[in-house]
Structure 1
Amino acid sequence: MTTRPPSIRTATTADVDALAALEDRCFYDDRISRRQFRHLLTRGHAALFVAEHGDAMVGSLVLLFSRGTSTARLY
């Protein structure tokens, strides 16, 4: 039996609720809120990606770009 790997795609504002729910399940402190996810997706200097397995979101990636530099931070 072969297991298919998760698919990865760019996150959209339609993913905010699922991103926040995943964050709540995975972290006790320092969680990213719905409002923060929405800001990152619409106005932040960031790139967000989600990993999906079937219909379930199983992971996320937040890449924050530093203004005026060529560096970024990966979460």
Structure 2
Amino acid sequence: MRKVELKTLSEAELSRILAASCGDNSRQCRKELHMTQEELAQQLFVAQQTIHKWENNINEPSIEMLKKLKVIFSISVDALIQ
């Protein structure tokens, strides 16, 4: 039988994985509401580039922004980051 070596994720790797999930989920929610990145940005009082960076997994939203996104999208924070 072959041994399988498990890799432990670093904090940075885990953060990238979570960001990817959040970015994909926020894009999907935004599109389901027929919103543009600019419209979402205006509701959150951020630049459109901020939304772009979240959705393309360049940056991730803060906890405060996640709370605002959950209200706009009517979903839980858990659903956003999974």
- So what's the TM-score if we normalise by structure 1? 0.31
Higher Cα Rg, which structure: 2
Structure that is richer in helix per residue:
2
- So what's the TM-score if we normalise by structure 2? 0.29
